[in-house]
Structure formats: structure tokens, C-alpha cells
A and B are shown apart, each in its own frame.
Chain A
């Protein structure tokens, strides 16, 4: 049986379209050919659906937008909306899914999702038993695995069609985090199916998987040797860094080319690894190689904590002044560096200037403590 009030295989068409879209040959003509255009279309649609038109108009060139809006009319608009929703279901993007509830752009698909998402174990099992269309079945299993992981079986992974690697990767991530007993299945599947991973946007799919699988020593990614994209290498290096293996992180980050678009990210990892290895002089070189200001600030704060002579108080204060609202940890790190240098006055000035900018409770607590009348260097 299928989900109630829903035509059979409702998800099949958008999923196939999604896989075709991701693999680079759109079925709807030559207008959407290049990667740039496809990416822009994806982003625009997402923003149009999620944020509304106004944001789309300010963010994109009017000519581009006109072209895409011209394309996205009538049934085409509905078709693309269904693709966006299918993608959100696979990626478990709840906010995007929620936006569809009010738009009524793909109500049948939304109902399908709700049926599986809200089903208890018994009901979910019954619904899954009635599915025969491979793409729909795989996606339904993914939705169920998120709510009822105990129902999952290794064969769920093996039965995902090659055309929807996004579903397989999401299932892998679920197994790795929620079902340690199925980790071996992930390993075996990865070795057998590197395929879909690399054929379609390999970096975007693999980078988070590397992070997840690295927690499980039995899952090695050796079969993918020399096929990593640089984004994946960076993700892997970052994992080693976070797990106190700076030498491995340094080695991996060193593989990224200076002209790579991920080079700045690699430089940050390299710098942090060098600091962890107590080679702060070398970390200064890594800092000098970074072009992106945000990446440079990240490393500079870490360097300031260990090499005060390299990053002076004014530089730290400037970084603190630049921290965005979504970077409370960096702001707090700056304050800590300044307090460590006994620069309470500067820290107070910064805390006063930005006390309303950060919602994070820890950042607010630090700011409050620094601004307290009795705060002294012992704080």
C-alpha cells in the first residue's frame, strides 16, 4: 500500500529529474546548460521559494532573473517546485519543507512526505511494504530511517538506485550516526558504489561523508585514493585536526594546490595544525598565504593566542570588530586573547560596542562578565 491520498510513485518523477539535473544534462532544453547557470537557477529557485521574490531580485542580476522567471512559468514552475521539495526531503531541510506547506506548490508530494515522516514504526513498516518503485521506496526508507532508525536494514542501502546517489549518501550518514551495527554495510557499499559518489558532484557528497565515516575506523576510504576532490581533502584534514591529529591534518592540507579555490581553507587548517605542533613561526607563513579576510581572521586569532608578537592588540581588536553575528566563538576568542594579555580596557570597549550583536548565551555571558562593574583582571 502507498501513503494515503497520494498517487503512486509521486516522488519518482521529481527524483529522476533531480538526478538528471545533478548529473548535468537537464531535460528541459539548452537554456540551462552550463554549470554556472544551473547552479544559479538552483539557488534562485531555492531563494524564490524560501525567501520570497524580493531577496531574489536584490541578489541576482535582473537579466538572469528575468530569464529564469521566464522559464519558470506554468507547469514548468510546478515541475521545478517539486524538484526543490524532493531535494529538501532528501536533504532533510525542514525549513524549506515547511515553506511548501503554505505555498501549496506541491501538496501531493508534501502529503506523501508527511505520511512517512509522522508514521509510527508499525505504520511505517506497513507503508514501506507496499512500495515497489525503486526511487520512491529508497526515499521513503530514508525518511523513515530518520524517525525510526531501528527499522533500517543493510539492504536498504544496497537497494538504492544508482540514479539517486543523494539518497544513498544520506542513508549512509544515518547508518553511521544512528546504527553502529550497520557501519560495516556502509563500508562495503562505499567500496562497491564509489560510482555514484564521483559521477555526480562528488565533493559535495563526499566531504560530509568523510567527516562522518572517520568516526568509524572500520570505514576506510582507501578505495577513493587519488580521487578525492580538494574540498573532501579539506574536510578530512579538518576532521584530523579536530581529533587532535595535527600531523595528519598538516599532511592532508598540504595536498591542496595554491591555486585551488579551497586553498585558503587548507591554509587555515595548515596554520592551526602548525600551532598545535608548536610551530607558530611556520603558522605565520600560512597566515600570510591566505587571501580571504575571513579565513585569515580565523587563523590570526588562534595565532594571537600563542604568538603575541605576531598579532598585536590592535589587530585582535580589529578582528573582534569584524566578527559577524554568526561568529560568536571568534569574538569570544578575541576577548580571551585580550584578557590573557591583560588588556581589559580594550576588551571592555569591544564588549560594550558589540554587546547586542551576539545571541549565543556563552558569548552573552562573557560580555556581561567583562562589562560588570567589578570586573578586574582576575575575570
Chain B
């Protein structure tokens, strides 16, 4: 039997240099950890073979795709995993903790590199709590990356250097928490399902000609932007906001609009995001100067409350948006809340500083939301009581998170998720030399948002009065171009249904036999899209295809936790069969909507 390679052999300077170069070639971010000369290895308890085997056996006896190793230790865990024929086919993600940089440099290990195929091993360096969120977002950004977490094996009991062991003990729960949260972050297309496609199409005539957020970028210079969410702390900023409303650009989340108007504060932009036709919070949109800077997938009744001249096209990263407008100039991270969207839209509008107001993301003493955003508070209470699906995912589970003061604050899983999204945007801006200021951090209240700085709102006297904000002219050609594509949706729908029927027939045959992994990969390629769909509409079909993938791929990764390679391949093919079935049913329901879209755009 093959035996585990060991790390005991000393490393020559020549070998070290060669393999250091190889490792840096594949993972450049590790360069800072690898000195020119091999360092001495610090003390790490060496595991006995039996202990190591007991630790790794669960991962080595399933076909789950991903193994996460919490800490480098002396490198023996990744080495043993890569030495195993089954584990070598998996993706191995090693978290390198603060305090084990030297151990890594001393033992990053020749045998590991010899076994390494290149793309199967990822090493992330985590030096602090911020690094955890950065790793989770950076390594599991989207659809293809997140589902394997559902079947992931965690190895987190192996010895580390003393400081790394302390780091792991302190932060392991947080790492697991954020990785679990990640399954809620597939992106908008998963949330929308078919609703997004239909509603965006119905909004097309109004929104597509509107100037895009990319066309607005830089138009307002470096004017400070204030992003206003709906947390309880908004109440204490009202006077300042009133004084600043003509000296900064104010962007309000949807629920805050009416409350701000009641207080004599008229925001410049508002960022609706929810797909439901909740008109209550926009019935007075006509009284406001606010420009619609929400998502195209919002219910048409909401978008219709804003005149065409007061709309901006906001385009994000999901597959729907290139289908609507192939080149909007700039795409933004939508996030999963209107508050997050107000941050990302604000960041795109100017090159100036961005101030966060009301992004409390924790409970206040008197409630979850500012009373001026009563709609949001009511919706929140209702959702907490009624939304079974959200409860099942733990979306409203209470959670203690770091506060701006010395103590943790009471939050929920979803607020914590929004916090991570804003922190990610702030990190991107920081890399560009810009700063996001959290006013709550200055007052040391509510939730901490990483990568932001503490500052009060600016002094109105220090800022010039704003000129009237004007938008570029509308571009009707964008709607015409989209119409040409959309008019073919019905025939593409039929083609897709035929494609699904053929695919299902082939999958049925495969399921009677022994599907191999190669066969499963072949089906996956066929499932991805259909050649008969017109090129212009492929993005639209890919968009709702993703919604079906949401549950089934996570389930598939869970079912691949089996020791049998045949069963693993079978699970993959069977999942695709289920997916095709679901898609075919969905297409039956969708076809009528596609016909309607085609009629309306001609």
C-alpha cells in the first residue's frame, strides 16, 4: 500500500528556491510569506499516523468535492490529502492562520508541490477577523463556487503552532458561520427565478432608455454621498441630513423615503430592490425629487411611480443584465438589501467620500428600524413571523456580531450578511484610495462594518451648495435593440423545451446504465445552454436556469458524500435529470409570459 509522504526530510536551498517560485507562480499572494532562504520550522506537535488517519478518513471516503483545512500546521494534513487518490480529485482549501507563516514557509513542502496538479489547492491567508469575510467572499463568490460548500468536509482538529491554534480557537466559529451564510449569497438571479426576467422585461420600455449608472459615473465629481438606511439611528441624524440635503448627494433605501419626506428631507436617489409590488412606500414618490436608482427586476407598479425622466439604469453582475443592456458602462454589486444597494449605487455616482447613516445592522433599544421607515419595520416583523423559507435557512436567526463599541451587538444572520456585503464594497473602494465613513462608528454604536472608517457627518458649512442634479439624455435605441432580442423569446422558449425533452431522454438512458463522471460532465455541458436558442437570448435563459440550479446543485453536492464513485456519478446525472424536469415544468408556465413580452415590445 502507498504510504503517506513525510515532511521530515530537510530541504535544500536550491529545491526551496525552485519550489518557492513554482508556488508563487500559482498563488502570487503567498509571496510575502516565503522568504528567499528556507526558515527553520517552529514547533508543531507531529501527529501520529493513527491520529492523522482518523482525522482524514471522513474526507477520504466520500466523493464530496471540497475539503477545507483549518490551519496549515506542519503541512502534513494537506500532504496526506494530496497523497490520497480520492482526495487528490477534490478541491482542497487550506486556511493559513496568523502565527503560522513561518511554519508554512518551512514546510510548504516539496512533496505537496510534486503532487499538486495546480488548480486543486488553494491557500488563503487569514490574519484577522476581516480576513475571514474577505476569504469567504473572495473564494466563494458565485454560483459555481458556493454549492460545493453543501457537501464540504472540514478538518479542524490538527495541531498548529501555538499562536495559530489560539487564532483558530478564537475564530473557528466565525469562519463556519460565514461559510454557512454563504449559501444565501448566490446572487439576484437565484432570488428572482422567473419573476426577475418577466418584471425586468415589463420595465424595459421605461428603464432601458434611462441613463445607466456607468454613464453617470464621475458626472457629479467628488461630491460627498450619504447612504441612508433604515436603522433606528437615523432618528438622531435627521437635523444634520436636513442641513446637508443640498450639499451632499443623499441616497435613501426604499423604506426610508416617506419618513425622510415627512422630516423635510428630500433624497436625490432611492434604491428599491424588492420584487414584490409593495406600493405603500412609494405612493408619495411624486412629491419627491428622488430619482429611481433601483434594480430593473423590481415590480413594474413600483417603477411606474417614477416618471421616465427620473430613472437611472442600474445593472449588476448576474446574467440578466447583459441581456437587458450588453454594455451599460459599469456594473455594480447589487447586494441583497436596498440598504446595500444604496451604498453601491452611491459609490458609483461620485469619486468623493461615502458616509453611511442608519446602517445599524443591529437592534436598537426600541426596535429594529427607525419609526420613519415604519413600512420596513412592519415588513420585518411580518417576515419574521411568516416567512417559513427564510426561517429554514436561518435568515432571521439572532446572532451576536462585533459592535462599534467594546461589546458585541444583537443582530441577525441576514443583517450580518448585509454587513459583509457593505464591507466588501468598502474594501474595493479603499483599494481605489476612497474611504467609506460609518457615522455609527464615530459614535461607537451598533454594528461594526469592516473596512470603513469612523467619522461624523460633514459640517454643512464646509461644503458648497450643490447645483441641480441633471441626468444625461435618454437613449431609446437601447430599448429597440433589446426588443429585437426579446421578440424571439417565444420561439427560443419552444427550442429550449425541445432541447430539455431530448436531454431528458438521454439522461433517462444514462440512468439505466452506469453513468461515468465523464458522461456527467457531458450532460452538464449540454444542460448549460442550448444551441438552438438565439444568441441574443442565451443570457435570459441562463438567468432562469440558475434559479433551478440553486437547490439541486447544493443537494447534489450533499449526495456526493458517498464512498462509491459510481454512486457519485449517478447522483450527478440524476440531479441533472431532476433539474431538466423542473425546468421543463417551469417552461410550461413561463411560455405565456414570454409570448406577452414579445407582443409588448413590438
Assess the A291–B87 pair: CB atoms within 8 A.
Answer: no
Q: Which residue of B lies closest to A254 (CB)?
A: B1
Q: Which A residues are in CB contact (< 8 Å) with B563?
A: 203, 229-230, 261
The minimal Cβ–Cβ distance linking B173 to chain A, given in whole angstroms, is 21
Query: B127 within 8 Å of A by Cβ?
Result: no
The answer to whether A35 touches B53 (Cβ under 8 A) is: no
Q: How far is the CA of A230 from the CA of B60 in the complex (A)?
A: 12
The stretch of B16-24, B185-193, B457-465, B509-517 that contacts the partner chain: B509-517
Q: Annotate B538-556 by CB proximity to A: 1 below 8 A, 0 otherwise.
A: 0000000000000000010
* B interface SS class: helix
Task: Say yes or no: is A137 at the interface (Cβ < 8 Å to chain B).
Answer: no
Query: What would 10 more interface pairs be, CB under 8 Å, given A200-B567, A259-B86, A266-B1?
Result: A24-B567, A25-B574, A35-B559, A200-B570, A201-B567, A203-B564, A227-B565, A253-B1, A291-B50, A291-B54
A126: which B residues are within 8 A, CB to CB? none
From B85, B514, B558, contact of A257 by CB (8 A):
B85
Contact in complex: B565, A259 (CB < 8 Å): no
Judged by a CB distance under 8 angstroms, whether B366 is at the interface is no
Q: A195-B514, A199-B514, A254-B1 are in contact. Are A24 and B61 (CB under 8 A)?
A: no
Contacts of A162 in B (CB 8 A): 512
Closest to A270 in B: B1
**Does B574 lie within 8 Å of A24, measured CB to CB?**
yes
Q: How far is the CA of A371 from the CA of B349 in the complex (A)?
A: 96
A327 at the interface (CB under 8 A from B): no
| A302 touches B (CB below 8 Å) | no
Contact between B558 and A34, CB atoms less than 8 A apart:
yes
In whole angstroms, how far apart are the Cα atoms of A162 and B562 in the complex? Answer: 22
- Contact, CB under 8 Å: A34 / B561: yes
Q: Is B80 an interface residue (CB 8 A)?
A: yes
Contact B566 A259 (CB under 8 A): no
Size bracket of the B interface: 35 or more
Interface bits A247-263 vs B (CB < 8 Å: 1, else 0): 00000011011111101
Question: Are B80 and A199 within 8 A (Cβ)?
Answer: no
Interface residues of A in 287-324 (CB under 8 A from B): 289, 291
Q: Which residues on A sit within 8 Å (CB–CB) of B125? A: none
> Is A218 at the interface (CB under 8 A from chain B)?
no
Shortest beta-carbon distance from B570 to chain A in Å: 5
B561 close to A259 (CB less than 8 A): no
Q: How far is the CB of B65 from chain A (nearest CB, A)?
A: 15
Q: In whole angstroms, how far apart are the Cα atoms of A197 and B566 in the complex?
A: 9
How far does the Cβ of B565 sit from chain A's closest Cβ, in whole Å? 7
CB <8 Å contact, A23 and B54: no
B468 interface residue (CB < 8 Å to A): no
Chain A residues 152 to 196 lying within 8 A of chain B, measured CB to CB, are: 162, 194-195
- B514 to A198, Cβ gap below 8 A? yes
- Which interface class (under 10, 10 to 19, 20 to 34, 35 or more) fits A? 20 to 34
| A33 & B555 in contact (Cβ 8 Å cutoff) | yes
Which residues from B are CB-within-8-Å of A258?
1-4, 53, 84
Q: Any chain B CB within 8 A of the CB of A330?
A: no
B252 / chain A contacts, CB cutoff of 8 Å: none
- Asked if A202 lies at the interface with its beta carbon under 8 angstroms from chain B, I say yes
In the complex, the chain B residue whose C-beta lies closest to that of A163 is B512
How far does the Cβ of A69 sit from chain B's closest Cβ, in whole Å?
A: 22
Q: Which residue of chain A is the closest to B87 with respect to CB atoms?
A: A259
Question: Who on chain A is nearest to B85 by CB?
Answer: A257
**B570 to chain A: which residues have CB within 8 Å?**
23-24, 198-200
Contact digits for B1-28, partner A, Cβ 8 Å, 1 yes 0 no: 1111000000000000000000000000
Q: How far is the CA of A229 from the CA of B514 in the complex (A)?
A: 14
Contacts of B561 in A (CB 8 A): 34-35
Contact B574 A23 (CB under 8 A): yes
A267 contacts partner chain B, Cβ-Cβ < 8 Å: yes
Offer 9 A-B interface pairs, CB within 8 angstroms, sorted by A: A35-B561, A229-B563, A256-B1, A259-B60, A259-B87, A261-B57, A270-B1, A289-B49, A291-B54
Residues of A within 8 A of B566 (CB): 198-199, 202, 227, 229
